[in-house]
């Protein structure tokens, strides 16, 4: 079985900005083993000279539109879901000590 050690689980949790207790970490470790056993089947496919497919849109280009200012949503509306605002600013926790 594919082994993912608990240190890797902890590192991924940090990268993912998620907290897990010890029991959850063990569950994840176990599930990761199964999932990576399963997806490792892909290693048997010959992909020599095969280009990766990043989009189903053939010859994808990045369409551009005119850079005209639009006033679709007011600031008040946009901030209506914010956990905390003050004078039209988002209030966030202190970033530097």
Partner 1 sequence: MNDILKLTITELIEKLKTRELRSVDVTKAALERIKERNDSINAYITICEETALKQAEISDQKLDDGEAGMLEGVPLGIKDLFCTKGIKTTAASKMLADFIPPYESTVTQNLLDEGAIFLGKLNMDQFAMGGSGETSAFGDTINPIKEEEKLTAGGSSSGSAAALADFQCFGATGSDTGGSVRQPASFTNTVGFRPTYGRCSRFGMVSFASSLDQAGFMARSVEDTALMFRAASGFDEKDSTSADVAVEAYDEIINDLEVKGLKIGLPKEYFVDGVDQKVKDVINAKVEQFKAAGAEIVEISLPHTKYAVPTYYIVAPAEAAANLSRYDGMRYGLRVEGENLSDTYAKSRSAGFGWEVKRRIMVGNYVLSSGYYDAYYSKAQKVRSLLSLDFEKAFEQVDVIFAPTTPELPFELGGKIDDPIAMYLCDIFTVSSALAGIPCISVPAGFTPEGLPVGLQILGKAFDDAKVLQAAKKAEDMNK
- Token pair of 78, please? 């946009």
* C-alpha distances in Å from residue 88, one per residue of 66, 69, 95, 97: 28, 20, 19, 24
Give me the least distance between CB of 22 and partner 1, in Å please: 14
Residue 26, phi-psi category: left (phi > 0), alpha (psi -120 to 50), beta (remainder): alpha
Site mask, partner 1, residues 32-71, x = CB under 8 A?
x-xx--xxxxxx-x-x--xxxxxxxx--x-xx-x------
- Token pair of 3, please? 């082994």
Backbone angles phi, psi at 85, to 5 degrees: -135, 160
Answer yes or no whether residue 87 interacts with partner 1 by CB under 8 A. no
Give me the least distance between CB of 26 and partner 1, in Å please: 13
Answer yes or no whether residue 6 interacts with partner 1 by CB under 8 A. no
Give me the least distance between CB of 86 and partner 1, in Å please: 13
* C-alpha distances in Å from residue 87, one per residue of 49, 80, 90: 56, 13, 9
Which residues form the interface with partner 1 (CB under 8 A)? Answer: 4, 8-9, 12-13, 15-20, 28, 31-32, 34-35, 38-43, 45, 47, 50-57, 60, 62-63, 65, 72-73, 77-84, 90, 92-95, 97
């Amino acid at each position: 079985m594919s082994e993912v050690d608990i240190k890797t689980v902890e590192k991924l949790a940090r990268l993912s900005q998620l907290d897990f207790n010890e029991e959850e970490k063990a569950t994840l470790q176990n599930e990761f083993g199964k999932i990576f056993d399963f997806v490792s089947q892909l290693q048997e496919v010959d992909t020599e000279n095969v280009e990766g497919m990043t989009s189903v849109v053939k010859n994808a280009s990045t369409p551009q539109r005119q850079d005209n200012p639009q006033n679709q949503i007011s600031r008040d509306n946009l901030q209506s879901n914010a956990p905390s605002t003050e004078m039209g600013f988002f209030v966030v926790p202190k970033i530097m000590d």
